[in-house]
Structure 1
Amino acid sequence: MTTTPLADRTTAVAARATDLSKIYGQGETQVVALDRVSVDFRQAEFTAIMGPSGSGKSTLMHCVAGLDTFSSGSVRIGDTELGSLKDKQLTKLRRDKIGFIFQAFNLLPTLNALENITLPMDIAGRKPDKEWLDNVIRMVGLADRLRHRPSQLSGGQQQRVAVARALASRPDIVFGDEPTGNLDSRSGAEVLGFLRNSVRELGQTVVMVTHDPVAAAYADRVVFLADGRIVDEVYGPTAESVLDRMKQFDAKGRTS
């Protein structure tokens, strides 16, 4: 494993998984998707999660984000233990503390861009922090598109709306599941740049699942999973260093 820089060791933790396991099925059909995974996601840090298909990377993100249950272990968002929450409490935590960006943009076609951005807060009956919202809109370059509906926006612009929506409520942590998967390389680079800037300029915490080494290179660190376990992490990644690491996984898979 790559040694953790000293500065990172002193940074507060936004989310933590401890001995996290997720098991599907029983007996001969049992599948261990996560096998006693322990990992911290530090505040104001951009983490990418990578691994071969079936390695457990999306399962890890979904369990830590409160989108899926886990079999054993614990997950904390800040000081809150997810396993102790009832459904209504978990829904409130996801709404108030967590932002989500998915491969599908998940915008409501009848609402304009601004209405889509503020929708989660409107549902919660909370008014947005205007200064923060203005900063987010400026950062993603949507100031001149706020009155446009999704059908009037390009795919890249729609994903910018989704990024702004995830950031607008100032969540403790933002999770992205292949957020650039439906975008061309230029639009994908823009969205990744916005996420990178949200960490640098706004102090946001971002955790992203991706299969793309170029996307992972925008992160501060990359956590690698294989067979439901964390097998390595890299700080200050480049597309080349990530690709080399992924090739090692492929080679092991062919020889095992």
Structure 2
Amino acid sequence: MAARAAQLTKAYGEGQTQVVALDAVDIDIARGRMTAIMGPSGSGKSTLMHCLAGLDSVTRGRVWIAGTEITRLKDKDLTKLRRDKIGFVFQAFNLLPTLSAKENITLPMDIAGRKADPEWVEQVVTAVGLQDRLTHRPAELSGGQQQRVACARALAGRPDIIFADEPTGNLDSRSGAEVLTFLRRSVDVLGQTVVMVTHDPTAASYAHQVVFLGDGRIVDEMDAPTPDRVLERMKRFDAIRTS
């Protein structure tokens, strides 16, 4: 497994004002697959991703990344594991405006003092279709191209797993499709593992599997999703809320 959680619980506050964002969640993230996490607002999907990725602490339960239990790591060791084992793609592109696309792609490794594998970086750049944009700065790139740079940056260090939080949230449908196609290709062709939080049924349909959250618990799973099947499942959340 690329990632795993057992009885993962995340609560905010105490006593009567306590809010339980995740309620004893058990989840296994298989290697070499793209998994989408969906649910209505407040269901805990972003909290789950942040806890799995070591970006947020857990109240109870255990989390493993690449066989290492991260819930018992000291801050320094957790920072190193995130740097070496995890790639991140967020809704905001988070590119440095003064650097070229290629410099942004290799930036995490440069900061860590690690030398990039030129053959792997070239393979990633080719897969994301940025060969003729490497010398361009972010302001010279479209939104879709900037997010593809961010995806390539996440892949460049060959992490065990990539977490993508609403990666198409700031993109139009065409640019979003480009990014989603690349994320799926990174799994099918490059052997990566991707976990993506999304509210978009079309985006979720690019995944091998969709995990549905409701009120902090996993309430359903779907293999080989299609936009229509995902939309129908999401409508059931709305029906429950309005009934």
* TM-score bin (small chain): over 0.9
Q: Is 2:169 the partner of 1:181? A: yes
Q: Which residue of 2 aligns with 1:63?
A: 51
Question: What's the CA shift string for 1:54-78, capped at 9, x where partnerless?
Answer: 0000000000000000100000001
Counterpart amino acid of 1:51?
Answer: G
Deviation at 1:45, TM superposition (A): 0.4
Counterpart amino acid of 2:238?
Answer: D
Structure 1 residue ranges (4+ consecutive) displaced by more than 2 angstroms after TM superposition:
none
Once residues 83 and 157 of structure 1 are traced to their aligned partners in structure 2, the CA distance between those partners, rounded to angstroms, is 35
Which of 75, 83, 94 is matched with 1:106 structurally?
94
Task: Give SS of 1:163's match.
Answer: helix
Q: Which residue of 1 aligns with 2:205?
A: 217
Which of 96, 111, 114 is matched with 2:84 structurally?
96
Number of residue equivalences: 243
Q: Is 2:29 the partner of 1:41? A: yes
Task: Give SS of 1:171's match.
Answer: coil
Deviation at 1:101, TM superposition (A): 0.2
Q: Which residue of 2 aligns with 1:131?
A: 119
- TM-score with structure 2 setting the length: 0.99
Q: Which residue of 2 aligns with 1:191?
A: 179
Counterpart amino acid of 2:77?
Answer: Q
Deviation at 1:131, TM superposition (A): 1.4
Once residues 117 and 208 of structure 2 are traced to their aligned partners in structure 1, the CA distance between those partners, rounded to angstroms, is 28
Q: Is 2:17 the partner of 1:29? A: yes
Q: Which residue of 2 aligns with 1:75?
A: 63
Which of 99, 103, 109 is matched with 1:115 structurally?
103
Counterpart amino acid of 1:32?
Answer: V
Question: What's the CA shift string for 1:160-186, capped at 9, x where partnerless?
Answer: 100000000000000000000000000
Question: What's the CA shift string for 1:81-122, capped at 9, x where partnerless?
Answer: 011111111111000000000000000011100000000000
Q: Output the aligned Cα RMSD.
A: 0.5
List alignment gaps of at least 5 residues for structure 1. 1-12
Question: What's the CA shift string for 1:202-254, capped at 9, x where partnerless?
Answer: 11000000000000000000000000000000000000000000001110111
Once residues 6 and 126 of structure 2 are traced to their aligned partners in structure 1, the CA distance between those partners, rounded to angstroms, is 37
Once residues 201 and 172 of structure 1 are traced to their aligned partners in structure 2, the CA distance between those partners, rounded to angstroms, is 15
Q: Is 2:41 the partner of 1:53? A: yes
Counterpart amino acid of 1:170?
Answer: R
Q: Is 2:48 the partner of 1:87? A: no
Which of 177, 196, 203 is matched with 1:208 structurally?
196
Once residues 78 and 228 of structure 1 are traced to their aligned partners in structure 2, the CA distance between those partners, rounded to angstroms, is 24
Task: Give SS of 2:20's match.
Answer: strand
Task: Give SS of 1:144's match.
Answer: helix
Deviation at 1:27, TM superposition (A): 1.4
Counterpart amino acid of 2:32?
Answer: A
- TM-score with structure 1 setting the length: 0.94
Once residues 191 and 86 of structure 1 are traced to their aligned partners in structure 2, the CA distance between those partners, rounded to angstroms, is 34
Q: Percent identity?
A: 72
Deviation at 1:29, TM superposition (A): 1.1
Task: Give SS of 1:76's match.
Answer: strand
Q: Is 2:215 the partner of 1:233? A: no
